[in-house]
């Protein structure tokens, strides 16, 4: 599952890079919880939680159905 998530995150990285940010995969639990860290401009953006839930989490759930939730650490 981790490899599929990394592959899906490449799509997210392209979007975030356009805004000066990036995303780092921290952990994937057996129960489908994905922990990530937004970096660069996205790390301190006040809209980062919305980006995380409405863009990153949605895309990961579409690409990797085993993903239940994405949280920022």
Which two structure tokens, joined as six digits, stand for 22? 């990036």
Which range marks the domain in which residue 34 is found?
2-72
| pLDDT, mean of residues 47-55 | 87
pTM: 0.90
**Confidence (pLDDT) at 41:** 87
In which residue are the tokens 């899906």 written? 8
What gap in Å lies between CA 17 and CA 27, rounded to an integer?
21
**Confidence (pLDDT) at 19:** 86
Identify the CATH number of the domain in which residue 19 sits: 3.30.300.130
Q: pLDDT band at residue 52, thresholds of 50, 70 and 90?
A: confident
Q: What is the number of structural domains in the chain?
A: 1
């Amino acid at each position: 599952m981790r490899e599929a998530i990394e592959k899906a995150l490449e799509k997210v990285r392209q979007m975030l890079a356009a805004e000066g940010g990036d995303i780092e995969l921290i952990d994937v639990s057996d129960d489908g919880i994905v922990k990530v860290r937004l970096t660069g401009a996205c790390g301190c953006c006040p809209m980062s939680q919305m980006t995380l839930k409405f863009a990153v989490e949605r895309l990961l759930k579409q690409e990797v159905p085993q993903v239940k939730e994405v949280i920022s650490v």
